[in-house]
């Protein structure tokens, strides 16, 4: 299992467009991917769960990866978050 933490820097937080892109990217991997805060973790492959987190600028989010392609998924989603949020 691998883990990555990221603080949201976008002034709009994790809004609909990047949330949809994140979910689309996550579904391309076989491994289980969870995203969330210490209070709530959700499946990163489900748009309603990701949007339900209501992540704002300054919130720290944790992503966990568990499965055969976890390293590739971590690298891809880390790059996405740093480039878009």
- Cite the active site residues: 15
Q: In what order do the strands lie in the sheet with 2-7?
A: 2-7, 60-66, 32-36, 41-43
**CB–CB of 5/74 below 8 Å?**
no
CA angle at 45 for the pair 43 and 46, rounded to the nearest 5°: 75
């Amino acid at each position: 299992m691998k883990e990555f933490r990221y603080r949201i820097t976008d002034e709009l937080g994790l809004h609909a467009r990047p949330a949809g892109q994140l979910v689309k990217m996550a579904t391309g991997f076989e491994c289980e991917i969870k995203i969330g805060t210490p209070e709530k973790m959700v499946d990163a492959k489900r748009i309603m769960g990701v949007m339900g987190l209501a992540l704002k600028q300054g919130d720290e989010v944790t992503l966990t990866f568990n499965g055969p392609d976890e390293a590739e998924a971590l690298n891809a989603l880390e790059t996405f978050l740093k480039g878009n949020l």
